[in-house]
Amino acid sequence: MAPSFLDGNSLFNFVVRDGNGVKGLVDFGLSEVPEQFVQPPKERIDKLNASTLDNPPIDLSKLDGPQHEQIVEEIARAAETLGFFQVMNHGVPVELLESLKDAVNNFFGQPPEKKAVYRKGVSPSPSVKYGTSFVPDKEKALEWKDYISMAYTTDAEALEYWPQECRDVVLEYLRTSIKMARKVVEILIGKLGVTLDDSIIDGLIGLKVVNMNFYPACPNPELTVGVGRHSDMGMLTVLLQDDIGGLYVKMEEEMDGKRKGDWVEIPAVPGALVINVGDTLQILSNGRYKSAEHRVRTTSTKSRVSIPIFAAPKPTERIGPLPQLVERDGVARYREFIFEEYMNNFFSNAHDGKKSLDFANNI
Ligand SMILES: O=C(O)CCC(=O)C(=O)O
Ligand SMILES: [Fe+2]
């Protein structure tokens, strides 16, 4: 049972406003989740009814050898169908992946007051934000997740303001992953038959945000979600998950014996990184690449961590389907907008599947 003072508003204040997070709640030794976290039946995750994605990770080191074209083809095919794939030999040192997971556990293992200094509004830098759920004020049910988000501006800013428990490893992760993400973006754009100047690509992945997600063990995983159904807003997300599993992706179309609309689990593969297409790349490619709807299950026995890097356009960028594709396809499937407007819309609504993309619909 939750302590009685945690009923109603005071629970919301304790978890969200005071910065205790879900972790603070769990540290009370709950035997059942409070009603604020109970999802409506249609959002709950039926673990038994999902299959696993069995495609092996794509070996990026082969891009430098005779199998280059085959690897390019595999990447493009994955981006056009599921919108999710895993990669190995990605240039991010495998020891660093281990240190990162330790850093997340160290950060979230601290007492609440150490984390709460990074809450929105009190954080020493607008680029660092600690919180829980996604948009708690707008959500019918809260997500079972705490996070800290770090938006990269400069090394100096990161060294000054990012939590010292993690800043060095996170910076190294960012440096190495972004190099790889850029290569993947260039490959995907190249497969569209379009060439973009380096400076344009710089703008399209100019906003780099690292999140550290912590999903505490949950007494009722069948009633909750770690993250609700959503797609990511940027170009590409690179994600490190630990060995717990629980990341599910919705099939955009029938493939490999799986039906459209089925949820498939992206298995934990040691040393691999997960890559997924975001809304921006779907829009830019005039719908050819798929920003996949995904969500995360909670587990009763162990906490889970994940560390996504979101590579997104600079807020000032004008985004829309690439003109060469509009001409070729004979239709613009999305409208043009300034990316900051897209972000504002994205962060002011609770997760609701691929609804975020409606913002780019032609009227
Ligand atoms: O924790 C995960 O595996 C995925 C998290 C996620 O989808 C997100 O942060 O956007
Ligand atoms: Fe996501």
pTM of the model: 0.96
Tell me what the mean pLDDT of segment 121-125 comes to.
Answer: 95
Confidence of residue 285 (pLDDT cuts 50, 70, 90): very high
Question: Which atom of ligand 1 is found nearest the CA of 213?
Answer: 1
Predicted confidence (pLDDT) per residue in 99-113, tens digit: 999 999 999 999 999
| CA 23 – CA 298 distance, rounded (Å) | 13
Distances (CA, A) of 95 to 98, 102, 121, 208, 306: 5, 11, 35, 22, 16
**Nearest-atom index, ligand 1, CA of 147:** 9
**Where does 183-333 show beta strands of DSSP type E?**
207-215, 227-230, 236-241, 247-250, 263-265, 273-277, 294-296, 304-312, 318-319
Mutate to test the pocket of ligand 1, among 149, 213, 237 (most ligand atoms within 8 A of CB): 213
- Flag the least confident range among 3-17, 75-89, 187-201, 280-294: 3-17
Centroid of ligand 2 to alpha carbon of 269 (angstroms): 18
Smallest CA separation from ligand 1 atom 9, residue: 308
Q: 1 pLDDT exceeds 80?
A: no
Q: Decide: 176 and 96 in contact? Cβ < 8 Å.
A: yes
- Pocket mutation for ligand 1, best pick of 108, 215, 294 (most atoms within 8 Å of C-beta): 294
pLDDT in tens, 139-164: 999 999 999 999 999 999 999 999 99
* CA atoms of 132 and 146, how far apart (whole Å): 4
Task: Between 9 and 188, name the one with better pLDDT.
Answer: 188
Determine the average pLDDT of the residues in 18-44.
95
Residue 4 has pLDDT above 60, yes or no: no
Pocket test for ligand 1, best of 239, 244, 279, 293 (most atoms within 8 A of CB): 239
In 3-state terms, what secondary structure has residue 270? Answer: coil
User: How would residue 5 be classed by pLDDT, with cut points 50, 70 and 90?
Assistant: low
Q: Which residue has its alpha carbon closest to ligand 1 atom 10?
A: 232
pLDDT above 90 coverage of the chain, percent: 92
Q: Name the closest-CA residue to atom 8, ligand 1.
A: 308
Tell me the pLDDT of the chain averaged across its residues.
95
How far away, in angstroms, is 276 Cα from ligand 2 center?
8
For residue 127, pLDDT beyond 80: yes
Q: What does the pLDDT read at residue 256?
A: 86
**Banded model confidence at residue 41, pLDDT cuts 50, 70, 90:** very high
Give residue 6's pLDDT. 59
